[in-house]
């Protein structure tokens, strides 16, 4: 049980550090387009750990600007010392029964794509 609690604690610590990296942009005069950073918020399922909002949107690889970044932060402890693609396609890896983390991300991407394009 101690190992499960320790992994959980490290996971939340990792998420918090990731949050503060983005939250520090709110005070950075060179990143005035960062207008909101949320931690463990009501966002899309499987993409709600850290949400960063931009106005104007940040540049992207395509013609559209990114107005929101959704981050799902995972900290996983595996006794084997590593994990790979097979874990990412296995629902049990994240304690789920039906959908793997990659399947959830694919579903959310389909839902979010129209939102990103409408704010360009």
Domain parsing of the chain, residue ranges:
2-118
Give the pLDDT confidence of 48-70 residue by residue, as tens digits. Answer: 789 999 999 999 888 889 999 98
Task: Kindly list the catalytic residues.
Answer: 49, 72, 74
H runs (alpha helix) in 24-100: 85-88
Q: Which residues lie closer than 8 Å to 44 by C-beta, 6 or more apart?
A: 70, 108, 111, 112
- Rounded to whole angstroms, the maximal C-alpha distance in the chain is 49
Prediction pTM value: 0.67
Residues 4-45 pLDDT 10s: 677 778 888 989 999 999 999 999 999 999 999 998 887 666
Q: Are 15 and 50 in contact (CB under 8 A)?
A: yes
């Amino acid at each position: 049980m101690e190992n499960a609690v320790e992994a959980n604690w490290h996971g939340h610590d990792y998420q918090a550090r990731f949050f503060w990296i983005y939250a520090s942009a709110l005070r950075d005069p060179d990143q005035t387009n960062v207008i909101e950073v949320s931690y463990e918020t009501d966002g899309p399922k499987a993409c709600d750990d850290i949400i960063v909002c931009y106005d104007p949107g940040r540049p992207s690889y395509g013609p559209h600007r990114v107005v929101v970044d959704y981050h799902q932060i995972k900290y996983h402890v595996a006794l084997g010392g590593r994990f790979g693609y097979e874990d990412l396609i296995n629902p049990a890896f994240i304690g789920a029964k039906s959908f793997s983390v990659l399947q959830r991300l694919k579903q959310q991407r389909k839902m979010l794509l129209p939102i990103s394009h409408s704010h360009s």
